[in-house]
Amino acid sequence: MASPQPVGGHAMYNVTIITDEKRFETLKDAMEAIGITGMTITRALGFGIEKGRTEFYRGAKVSAKLLPKVRVEMVVSKVSPRTIIETAKKVLYTGNYGDGKVFVSAIDNAVKIRTGEEGYDALQDYPVAAKK
């Protein structure tokens, strides 16, 4: 079964990046530099193969099973997911476990509630006219 055409005929994608929260500012700056104008940020706890780390609390060894992460979500139509992926890989790569993951999925529609615009138009950022 073929997926339906996105509203407005423009392809839209949700790109989600999960990485160490300490790397967020670097990632945000890099995304802004390639033209990303909005993102949703969620603090998260999680682990992958690194399985947490050992920390010390008041001199006692404590196993930290869940690591602080940040989940960055962007719905895009002008910037290609490949550009986002390559930029994220460039700024997040350390070669160590925990560098992060990128997930990309197609979006069928988006609706800007304030204006009622849908599809591609809902993702465009226009300056709001000043009220008189």
Q: What is the pTM of this model?
A: 0.80
Q: Residue ranges of the chain with pLDDT lower than 50?
A: 1-2
Question: What DSSP line would sit under 54-66, residue for residue?
Answer: EEEETTEEEEE-S
pLDDT tens per residue, range 36-71:
999 999 999 887 776 656 666 567 666 667 788 999
What is the architecture, at CATH level 2, of domain 12-123? 2-Layer Sandwich (3.30)
Cα–Cα distances in angstroms (integers) from residue 114 to residues 2, 20, 47, 125, in the given order: 31, 33, 38, 12
